[in-house]
């Protein structure tokens, strides 16, 4: 049941994010409540304490990325909500897989947009100095932004399926 919910939420979030570049609270809020509710009822893969801790871990890991401009607030809330279904260890494993999926997607987007060299140098700048580098990378002329919910969905689905 958990895997079906994770995959369904990931698909819905991805479709919305690709279309509107947002992950709505109307999706993430009920998803988090459902995850905690399933855990409390003994119907999830984690208990209630682990569901809440999974939410907190997802939030703590993703929030700094949002602060430096690497991801949107909806992405942070989506990861936190998925943490209620996967628990703290599961969401950490999912975040690793999300990063890999996001990197592959980013390379594909950069190649398609003809900006691979510029994207790689901007990424190196962001890693080297977060003070102002995010503003340069996010500049509209850079054209680096892409919906991240698909990467989140892939990472979470892989963990939910036991991969």
Query: Model confidence at 69, in pLDDT bands (50, 70, 90)?
Result: confident
Contact 98, 151 (CB under 8 A): yes
> In the predicted model, what is the mean pLDDT of residues 42-71?
95
92 token code pair: 């950490």
Reported as a pLDDT band with limits 50, 70 and 90, residue 77 is very high
Would you give the DSSP letter of residue 45? Answer: S
Looking at the chain, the number of H-run helices and the number of E-run strands are 7, 0
Residue 80 to residues 18, 22, 114: CA-CA distances in angstroms?
Answer: 20, 16, 33
pLDDT greater than 60 at residue 137: no
Cα(11)–Cα(109) distance, integer angstroms: 19
Q: What is the mean pLDDT of residues 102-113?
A: 90
What pLDDT does 33 receive? 98
**CA separation for the pair 57, 84 (Å, rounded):** 10
pTM to 2 decimal places: 0.87
Report the alpha-carbon distance of residue 77 to residue 69 in Å, rounded. 15
Number of domains in the chain: 1
* 16: containing domain: 2-160
- pLDDT(79) > 80: yes
Q: How many whole angstroms separate alpha carbon 21 and alpha carbon 132? A: 23
| Residue-wise pLDDT tens digits, 8-17 | 999 999 999 9
């Amino acid at each position: 049941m958990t895997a079906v919910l994770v995959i369904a939420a990931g698909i819905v979030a991805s479709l919305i994010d690709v279309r509107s570049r947002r992950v709505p609270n109307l999706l993430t809020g009920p998803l988090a409540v459902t995850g905690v509710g399933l855990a409390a009822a003994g119907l999830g893969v984690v208990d209630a304490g682990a569901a809440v801790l999974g939410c907190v871990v997802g939030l703590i890991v993703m929030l700094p990325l949002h602060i430096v401009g690497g991801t949107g607030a909806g992405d942070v809330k989506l990861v936190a909500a998925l943490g209620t279904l996967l628990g703290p260890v599961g969401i950490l494993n999912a975040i690793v897989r999300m990063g890999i999926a996001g990197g592959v997607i980013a390379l594909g987007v950069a190649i398609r947009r003809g900006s691979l060299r510029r994207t790689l140098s901007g990424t190196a700048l962001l890693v080297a100095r977060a003070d102002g580098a995010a503003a340069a990378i996010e500049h509209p002329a850079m054209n680096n932004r892409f919906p991240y919910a698909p990467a989140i969905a892939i990472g979470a689905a892989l963990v939910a399926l036991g991969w």
